[in-house]
Amino acid sequence: SPVLVWFRDDHRLSDNPALAAAAATGSQVLCFYVFDEESKGIRRLGGAARWWLHGSLKSLNDALEQAGLRLLLLRGSALEAVDTVVQATGASAIYWNRRYGAAEIAVDSAIKARLADRGIKAHSFNGRLLHEPWEITNQAGRPFQVFTPYLRAVNARSIQPPLPAARRLLGGVWARSILDQAVPLTELGLEPSAPDWAGGMRQVWQRGEHAAQARLSRFVETGLKGYAERRDRPSQEGSSRLSPHLRFGEISPRQVWHSVMNAVAAEPSLGLDAEKFLSEIAWRDFTYQLLHYYPHLPDRPHSSRFDNFPWNQDQNALKAWQRGLTGYPIVDAGMRQLWQTGWMHNRVRMITASFLVKHLLTDWRQGEAWFWNTLVDADPANNAFSWQWISGSGPDSAPFHRIFNPVTQGEKFDPKGDYIRTFVPELSRLPPAFIHKPWEASPTILREAGIDLGETYPEPIVPHGPARGRALEAFRSLRDME
């Protein structure tokens, strides 16, 4: 009888432990994917991630077809779908790579139990992380709360080499009864039709395993050198931009890790840049560990101290932030980069998130939800953790009183204003001295740059100094309540 491979956020053929193990049985392999918006607690994907998923599934199906297989798409509750597939195929076993969110684990456990009743074995693997959450613990066997000792523990362990793509995959034939239930990819409705808001994303991204590998090679060859410094420059392509590929498992962190280590072995001067880059890959594992042990991370402040934070409910302020119309050029450029391309530079994610939470005193969950909807790399662990980090409420967070000044941050990391000129074109003719603070330019300079402040570009939505004071006051009020 055939064996099944259930793909979930591991859209690749190489270094895919579930697929490799299924292939190694020598049995016919049948591959499927379930678009599940029904199971309890599974978070519905945001718009940009749905767009990515469409291309990712298409590319996975193309790769499987080249190997003589096909990807069957089903829609609905995973428990029901797996049941249907198992019954229709008479499969003897099922293979998948593990997931780490509480709702996903509950679904997988329920499926495992039901399959066990039928005498069918479910084999699960780590296809997503360098180390699984329970593999890296402190001396008390508990998860780390702080990244530095976590990283030390990671560095003390070796990282499994990636598996090559399965050399021989024996495709099986899907029974008519199940093919009738399959959904064509276009019917999942993942890509926008009217209005087509994905044009900017199509220009910037290529989805799928092949594109992910090409991006990794290019980054290792040309981007790794100087990464530690260039990663903070939003006007440059100074980071790998692998995040959506990692999010959908089009590439594995082990592949990234070993490719970088190989480059360092050949060129030792890359060592410091590689160390910095690989620590970011380890951050990703760290956030998954935290999500695993603290499944409330996307939903409520980790520190209960923030439970009664006096958040501002001003919807107009939230809208101005979402649309990139706050009057602070670095914030607006970031929010527009996000809307147009589905991605935002890390430094600017920090600045825009801090601005929403601290200058506008808006609940971080509103920001998390907006990023969830608009990022192609929207990730349950990284996104929730990062928002809590910025807000001061998460494990190993930045302290609340560290409030980014959007002007000095802009001047430091985008000194000539090139990033602003790209995403806020109405300011493009301002000289560098004023591009991060147009309100300080004289009427003549503004006129020459074609800017009518308050008309063609907004005045700052809140003045920095008083906004900072208001945020600190709100934070102090929490302490008074204790």
Q: How far apart are CA 193 and CA 174, in angstroms?
A: 31
Tokens of 339: 């809307």
What is the footprint of ligand FAD within residues 331-370 (CB under 6 A)? 346, 349-350, 353
Should residue 375 be labelled a site residue for ligand FAD when binding is judged by CB under 6 A? yes
Q: Please indicate whether residue 280 is annotated as part of the active site.
A: yes
CA distances from 121 to 83, 86, 91, 127, 469 (A): 13, 11, 10, 19, 60
R_g of the chain, CA atoms, integer Å = 24
Q: Is 208 left (phi over 0), alpha (psi -120 to 50) or beta?
A: left
Determine whether 387 is an active site residue. Answer: yes
- Of 17 and 244, CB closest to ligand FAD: 244
Given 252, 289, 383, 397, the residue binding ligand FAD (CB under 6 A): 383
Q: From the candidates 280, 373, 405, 426, which is the catalytic residue?
A: 280
Segment contacting ligand FAD (CB under 6 A): 37-45, 194-202, 383-391, 448-456? 383-391
Q: Given CA atoms 340, 345, 350, 351 in this order, what sign does their dihedral have?
A: negative
Instruction: Tell me whether residue 166 or residue 242 sits nearer to ligand FAD (CB atom).
Output: 242
Cis peptide bond upstream of 195, omega within 30:
yes
Q: Is 370 a catalytic residue?
A: no
Residue 227 assigned ligand-binding role:
yes
State yes or no: 239 annotated in a binding site: yes
Least CB distance to ligand FAD at residue 352 (A): 7
Taking each helix axis from N to C end, the angle separating 406-413 and 346-354, rounded to the nearest 10 degrees, works out to 170
Binding mask 172-211 for ligand FAD (x = CB under 6 A): ----------------------------------------
Q: How far is the CB of 317 from ligand FAD (least distance, A)?
A: 17
At residue 394, φ and ψ (nearest 5 deg) are: -95, 175
Residue number with CB closer to ligand FAD (241 or 437): 241
Q: Output the smallest distance, CB 40 to ligand FAD, in A.
A: 23
Residues 231-250, one symbol each (x = binds ligand FAD by CB under 6 A, - = not), give x-------xxxxx--xx---
Minimum distance of ligand FAD from residue 419's CB (angstroms): 14
Size of the site for ligand FAD (CB under 6 A): 27
Q: Indicate which single residue of 151, 212, 378, 446 sits in contact with ligand FAD (rule: CB under 6 A).
A: 378
Q: Write b or e for each residue in 129-165: b if 16 or more Cβ atoms lie within 10 A of its Cβ, otherwise e.
A: bbbbbeebeeeeeebbeebeebbebbeeeebeebbeb
Shortest Cβ 224–ligand FAD spacing (Å): 10
Residue with tokens 């793509």: 165
170 is in an annotated binding site: no
The 10 Å CB-count burial string (b at 16+, else e) for 358-379 is bbbbbbbbbbbbbbbbbbbbbb
Q: Which is catalytic among the residues 257, 387, 389, 411?
A: 387
| Binding positions for ligand FAD, 266-285, rule CB under 6 A | 280-281, 283-284
Give residue 129's identity as a one-letter amino acid code.
Answer: L
Q: Where are the beta strands (DSSP E) in 272-348?
A: none
CB of 133 or CB of 172, closer to ligand FAD = 133
Q: Is 343 noted as a catalytic residue in this protein?
A: no
CB 418 within 8 A of CB 330: no
In whole angstroms, what is the distance from residue 457 CA to residue 329 CA?
9
Tell which positions 283-322 bind ligand FAD, by CB under 6 A: 283-284, 287
Q: Would you say 201 and 51 are in contact if contact means Cβ atoms under 8 Å apart?
A: yes
Single-letter amino acid code for the residue at 311: W
Site residues (CB under 6 A) for ligand FAD? 231, 239-243, 246-247, 280-281, 283-284, 287, 346, 349-350, 353, 371, 375, 377-379, 382-383, 386-387, 390
Which residue ranges are tagged as binding site for FAD?
A: 227, 239-243, 277, 377-379
Annotated binding site: 227, 239-243, 277, 377-379
Q: Which residues are catalytic?
A: 280, 283, 311, 346, 364, 387
